[in-house]
Amino acid sequence: MKILITGANTGIGFATAEQLVKQGQHVILACRNPQKAQEAQNKLSSLDQGQVDVVSLDLNSLELTRKAADEIADRYGSLDVLINNAGLFSKTKQLTTEGFEQQFGVNYLGHFLLTQKLIPVLQQSPKARIIHLASIAHWVGSIKPNKFRAEGFYNPLFYYGQSKLANLLFSNALAEQLAGSSITNNALHPGGVASDIYRELPKPVYAAMKLGLVPTSVPAKLITEMATGDAWQNRNGEYVSAHMPDWKSSHAKNQQLARDLYQQSMDLVEKFL
């Protein structure tokens, strides 16, 4: 199986790549930092199982994301699994190349474009799967189109929550659209994980949080099952959690909100499709 993982050079992405390579899979690491991607590829290749490739992907730019998707399509022709894993937490206001708030742009909109561009590639596989990393943090978010570009006061937790709610709503909308097709589509909350995403938090906060965190191997096991396990062959539109309750907020259950966001997002990425 050919499996593409975004942000696979560290954290949950790397742990998932490791488990998949040990299964003998062909894993494609889609990463922004070439040096870190190379280091990850070397570590995974040393396992002497599976195949490990690297492609350059910068979700901070829709134009570069478009180029990466075209390169993936040309290079591989088909994909069996797309794992939308890359994510960041930004405690200060940052904007993407196209002027979107960075957490919304990288965690969600870049992945939205990448997925749209790769659906035809996934359709070349007899049974393909798309997996989105959402988060319990979606509870603190809501979808506010006037904040997609971070106007006004910047509350980093709201913006992180908005991006993760958007991931989950995208999964729900896509599951509805792909129902009955050869592609299944599901989302997960990885749980409280000891990964790099919290590196921006103040040290005392991170130290306290670390006590309740699980290793990256825990969500990686769930993602690996979702990517390759027989039990997930026909499951579509689900949201599960690695080690915590998988409760959805009322926003996350709102299918009309999911459809509306999908249409707004198509308008935002239209010229890059």
CATH architecture type of domain 2-272: 3-Layer(aba) Sandwich (3.40)
Prediction pTM value: 0.93
From the list 160, 198, 206, 239, the catalytic residue is 160
Q: What is the pLDDT of residues 133-179, one digit of tens each?
A: 998 888 889 999 999 999 889 999 999 999 999 999 999 999 999 99
Q: What is the pLDDT of residues 45-65, one digit of tens each?
A: 999 999 999 999 999 999 999
Q: What is the pLDDT of residues 170-192, one digit of tens each?
A: 999 999 999 999 999 999 998 77
Catalytic: 160? yes
Per-domain residue ranges of the chain: 2-272
3-state secondary structure the chain: CEEEEECCCCHHHHHHHHHHHHCCCEEEEEECCHHHHHHHHHHHHCCCCCEEEEEECCCCCHHHHHHHHHHHHHHHCCCCEEEECCCCCCCCCCECCCCCEHHHHHHHHHHHHHHHHHHHHHCCCCCEEEEEECCHHHHHCCCCHHHCCCCCCCCHHHHHHHHHHHHHHHHHHHHHHHCCCCEEEEEEECCCECCHHHHHCCHHHHHHHHCCCECCHHHHHHHHHHHHCHHHCCCCCCEEECCCCCCCCCCCCCHHHHHHHHHHHHHHHHHHC
